[in-house]
Each structure stands twice: as C-alpha cells, then as structure tokens.
Amino acid sequence: MGRWKYILLLFIACQMALPDLYSQKRKVEKADEAFNAGEFFDAVDLYKDAYSRIHDRTEKTRIAFQIGECYYEMNESRNAKNWYKKAVAKEYHNPIAILRYAEMLKMEGAYEDARNEYEHYKQLVPGDYRASDGLMSCELALQWIENPTGYKVEAMKYINSRNSDFSPAFARDDYRSIIFTSARDESSGNNVHGGTGQNFTDLYETKMDRKGKWSTPVPIEELNTEFEEGTPAFTSDFNIMYFTRCNVSKRKKLGCAIFKTVRTGSSWSSPELLKIADDSLVVAHPAISDDGMTMYFASNMPGGFGANDLWMISRTAEGTDWSDPENLGEDINTEGDEMFPFSHPDGTLYFASDHHPGMGGLDIFRATQTIDGDWKVENMKYPINSSADDFGIVVERDSEKGFFSSTRRGRGNDEIYSFILPPLKYNLIGVVKNEETEEPLNAAIVNLIGSDGMNIEAETGDDGSFKFMLKPNTDYIFIGSKKGYLNNKGRETTKGQNESKDFQATILLSSIDNPIELPNIFYDFAKWDLRPESMVSLDKLVETLQDNPNVTIELMSHTDSRDTEEFNLDLSQKRAQSVVDYLIKKGIMANRLSAKGYGESRPKVVDEKLNKEYAFLKEKDILDESYINGLKTDQQKEIAHQINRRTEFQVLSTEYEME
C-alpha cells in the first residue's frame, strides 16, 4: 500500500508541473515571436522570465544568447556583453556568441579583452574575415586614441534629454536653428516602442539666441504623428525638408519611407510621400546634394551588399521624376550596415558604418569621389568616433564645425554632440647662436621663405631669439645672417600636421674671423684620396658656399707630427687639393677656392669645446710635439695627434662676384 501511495503522489506532482512547463514554453515562444518582429524591449523581459525558470541547459544557454541579441539590437552594449559572456561560459553551440562578445567588449572600449575573444573566434572559424577585421579595428582604435585628431567635441546638454536624441540637421543658413530626432517624453502618441522601450521619435526644433544659448526644443506639430518621424535633411536654400517616417505595428515589422515637406513661412506643408520602394522595405535617412539633383538614403531593398546599404536616386531638374534607386557600390557598402548619410556642399559624403574598420559600433566616415567615379573612404577617427555608436553627422558649408550623434556616455541613449576643428596654429620659435661659442647673436637677420611665395624678415633680440607664424600645408626655409658670419639655414614644414605646434629651431652662424673646421674628413693612412664617409661633411660645405655666393675660401689641411716635415707638407697639400677638386666637381667655381697644405706647422690650440670633451687638455694649450710628448698616457697622445689631423677652411673674401 505504501508503494502505491508514493506512485500516486508522484503522478499528482507531475500533473501539477505540466501546466507550469507549458506556461514556460509558451513564454519562450512569445519571446521568440517578439524578437522576430523586432520587439526587442518586450522580448527581453519574456526571455529573462523564462531563463530564471528553465532548467534544460541547452535551452537556457540559447535564451542567454537571445537576451544578448535583444540588448545588442537595443544598443545596450554593457547588458549585451554580460549575457553573451554567459552564453559563451555555458558553451553555446554557435561560435557567433564569441564574436558578439568580442564586439561588445570593443564597444565598451575593452580593446585588449576584445582582441583575446577575436583570437578565440578566429581559431574556431578561421575563414571568417570578421575576426581579422575585429583585430585590426582594435589595433587602429588604440592608435587613434593615442594620437587624436584636432577636433574638439562637447555634449549638447541644453538639447539632450534622458531619452534618445539624434540626427541633427541645420534648418537655416545661419546655422542657428537645428531640427533633430528625439524620443523625449513630449513626443506624440502614447505607445512605447517595443524595440527600444522608449517613446516613438518625433521631429524637434531648437534655436540659438544672440548669447549663443540653445532654446528648449519644441516639437514640429504639423509633421509629427503617432508613428515615428526623424532624420531630417534640407535642400541648400533650407526651404524643403526631407525626413523619415516609420509605421509601427505590434508583432509585425513594417517599412519606413521618405517624405517631403515645404516651408511656408514659419510652418510646414502636409508631407508628401516619395515612392521609392515597397511599403514593407526600409527607405530612410535622406541626404540631399547641394544642387538638389541627387538624394542619398539607407535601405534594405534587394540588390545590396549587406543589411542596410546606401543608395541614391537622381533627377535632371526640380519637379522632374526621380530615377530608379542605384546602389552606391562596394567602395561604400559592406556586409554590415551603412546608414545616416550626409551630403556636404563640397561633394563629400559622410555616413555611418559598423563594418568598415572602426572603433566600436557605428563609426562616422567621409567619402570623396575620384575622377574615375570611385569613392575613397576615410574613418574620422577619435574623438569624432568612439568605442560606442557614432552617427548622424552634419557639417557647416565653410567650416569644420557641426553636430553628430553618439551613445558614448554608456547610458544606451543617443545624444547630440557638437564638434569643431579649431584653426591650426603654427609658430617657428628659434635662436641664432655663434657656432663656436654657442653664445646668442643679437641683431642677426632671419629670412623666412615659404613654398607659397611668402618672404618675410625678422631681427633677433638681445637673447638671439626670433619668432614667425607659419601657415598650414607649407614648406619653409629660414636663413640666418649677420655681418662677419657665414649665412646658415634650416628647414621646416607644416605639411601633414593635424595639430597646432610650436617648431623649435637653432641657427648656428660661423664667424669668418677664424678658421672653420670641417668635421669627419677622413683619408687612409699616408694617402690623400677622400673616403666615402667624408662626403656628408663636404656636401654641407657645398651648401654653405651656395648660401654665401660672395665668399672665397682657402682649404687648409693639417697633419700630425709623426713623419718628416717635408712628407707631411706634401701630404697635406695633396689632401687640401682633393677637397678643392671635390667642391669643383659639385659645381663650385674654381676661382672661389684655393688649397693650402700646412703639414704639422699649425698645431691645434685647445678651445673651450675641446676642453669640455677632453678634460686632460687645458684651454689655450698648443698641441705641438713637445706638449704631446708630455702627456701621461699613449691614449691621450693618440687623441692629441688625431685632433691635429684636421681639415679647415678660412674665408679670404666676402666680395666675390661671378664673372
């Protein structure tokens, strides 16, 4: 009897559990239905409820992944990351969970951790380019953060709300009025979007007052409906606005379309539908060219490269029919999403992509068209882009200044940011010094010559200093001169500089009163042929003579005392002549040059510079044979002999004129 009682109780318990199992199964089915309809906000709660009650490991892991997918679609990277991590830890059967986890780590700015997961995914799916692209993106992001562009970015706190605000557009030619997309509480309709959990979006306008403060945004009542409106774009005269309207239905995906409205005074005309594709497709994010003859937009229509591509339609004149849609091609479009185009008056096309190499989710790119019609695409880098979603940019006609949208503050909501590229400032700050004594030279003249034809002059102060303001993208030569000294010059360029910078320069001028030593002039033992390593110093002398065309010089060669006087005199003469021959070969007129060998007759006099380099040599000492023989070590003696073996030049005249 006891055994039958136990079986009966077990049967009753199982019967009681069946409705609960059926209930959980139904919740999962409803969650899947909501997910497939794009109702991610609704689906995530259903999945979470089921996850806490289901014990089957395989199904529980699948639900964890689906919750991650919901948060992924809702742009909540932090929550998505946590649920993908659970799916990976539970060994979800599809490696895509690892890829998604890597992508969310990247969107959170955890680039090192993201790289590890991309490597993991690459081992499992070696043929998937997304792993290699992800690794490259992490490397690029770290480089761009380390070397940011010059843009200054600031959140528009007077415009942004606690809900999503994005895709601003200039509404007037003075750039003091903006119309943008917002899901703030004042929006039309009482429904909450099942995909985002926020209100349906509407169009809002804000204006800047004379003090530069933006007004409280107000809805554009005549355009907003119970559906979703957003992503405005204006013609160049700002009298026509195109925008997106998306119909929404519970558990059913509907399309989006582009509408046109005309400004009439302070209001807008009834919107007119542009029939571009079937109602079930997404046709959104309009951008109009400066001449009004081309419209760019994003769409998931057939024939594209990825989920959403950029397309274009064109017309021959105002009022004529638009052409059939044309895909912008593989230079622009990828297997991912390309959206939110903006057409600048200069022809540059800005857009957002999650597949071109970038820093996180959506990055902002700019594309310029070549003569052949191809597009050259460039990432706008940090700080315009971040590890989060960055999109919906608008740029003024004549300034690197405007607005864009971003989720970079990590709250999951889109916010509007301003950006500006401050004018680059370059200065050349320098000093003119005596090359031998390193003392500053006052009243020296410095000429600055630019590749743009500019030629200006400055005089050094008591401290030998000078300063010039430089222009961007220009090469410069600056020449220092002072009576009694040889001219000398330096070079600088601002080409390739994307940040303001102060360039530092020192111009060393050599006095013509004393012989000037040529460093690093080498010969083989007892020979007079110049060795190859001597050419650098001699080429510098060629340049000096070219910079001082009125100068004549004597080339002076000296030996040490370790041979007969006759041998050293002959050797030094031949060495001096070898230098002269080289200079003539390089184009210096022979009548500006003379060669003189002094053998061992002019030993070096120790100066301050030699004393600093070799403490055992005392300033003003003469390195003759008796002095050298009195040095303590063979090493010191060899150094002294080496100092005596030198090549110098002496200025003879500063009045040479070419015949």
Final residue of a domain: which of 374, 389, 420? 420
**Do the domain assignments include residue 175?**
yes
Per-residue pLDDT, averaged over 429-438, amounts to 93
Q: Can you give the pLDDT at residue 61? A: 92
Residue 165 sits in a domain of what CATH number? 2.120.10.30
- Which among 241, 180, 207, 235 is positioned nearest to 404, based on CA atoms? 180
Rounded Cα–Cα distance for residues 151 and 165 (Å): 21
Q: Can you give the pLDDT at residue 382? A: 96
End-to-end CA, the chain: 136
Q: Can you give the pLDDT at residue 6? A: 47
pLDDT tens digits, 242-294:
999 998 665 555 689 999 999 998 899 999 999 999 888 999 999 999 999 99
Same domain, 289 and 341: yes
Same domain, 141 and 234: no
Same domain, 105 and 230: no
**Do the domain assignments include residue 239?**
yes
Final residue of a domain: which of 468, 494, 509? 509
Final residue of a domain: which of 354, 387, 420? 420
Per-residue pLDDT, averaged over 33-51, amounts to 88
Residue 562 sits in a domain of what CATH number? 3.30.1330.60
Angle at 551 between CA 548 and CA 553, to 5 degrees: 120
Q: Can you give the pLDDT at residue 608? A: 86
**Do the domain assignments include residue 18?**
no
Contacts of 391 (CB under 8 A, 6+ apart): 166, 167, 339, 340, 352, 362, 364, 404, 405, 406
The answer to whether residue 13 scores a pLDDT higher than 50 is no
- Which among 88, 94, 136 is positioned nearest to 115, based on CA atoms? 136
Residue 29: band (very low, low, confident or very high) from pLDDT cuts 50, 70, 90: confident
pLDDT tens digits, 220-247:
999 999 889 999 999 999 999 999 999 8
Of all helices (H) and strands (E), which one includes residue 353? strand 349-353
**Do the domain assignments include residue 14?**
no
pLDDT tens digits, 539-552:
999 999 999 999 99
| Residue 108 token pair | 């959170």
**Do the domain assignments include residue 256?**
yes
- Total number of residues shown for the chain: 659
Q: Can you give the pLDDT at residue 444? A: 96
Same domain, 559 and 646: yes
Assess contact for 288 and 343: CB atoms under 8 A.
Answer: yes
The answer to whether residue 556 scores a pLDDT higher than 90 is yes
Same domain, 569 and 505: no
Same domain, 212 and 322: yes
pLDDT tens digits, 187-206:
775 566 555 656 789 999 99
Same domain, 402 and 295: yes
Per-residue pLDDT, averaged over 617-630, amounts to 92
Host domain of residue 643? 516-653
Same domain, 413 and 478: no
User: What integer best gives the mean pLDDT of the chain?
Assistant: 90
Same domain, 483 and 579: no
Note the pTM of the prediction, 2 decimals.
0.70
pLDDT tens digits, 55-76:
889 999 999 999 999 999 888 8
Q: Can you give the pLDDT at residue 8? A: 41
pLDDT tens digits, 580-604:
999 999 999 999 999 999 999 999 9
Same domain, 453 and 557: no
Torsion of CA 182, 183, 189, 191, to 10 degrees: 160
Q: Can you give the pLDDT at residue 525? A: 73
Same domain, 69 and 97: yes
Q: Can you give the pLDDT at residue 497? A: 87
DSSP string, 224-287: --SSEEEEEEE-TTS-EEEEEEE--BTTB---EEEEEEEEETTEEPPPEEE--S-TTSBEEEEE
**Do the domain assignments include residue 414?**
yes
Same domain, 223 and 359: yes
Count: domains in the chain: 4
Residue 109 sits in a domain of what CATH number? 1.25.40.10
Largest CA distance in the chain: 136
3-state DSSP assignment of residue 439: coil
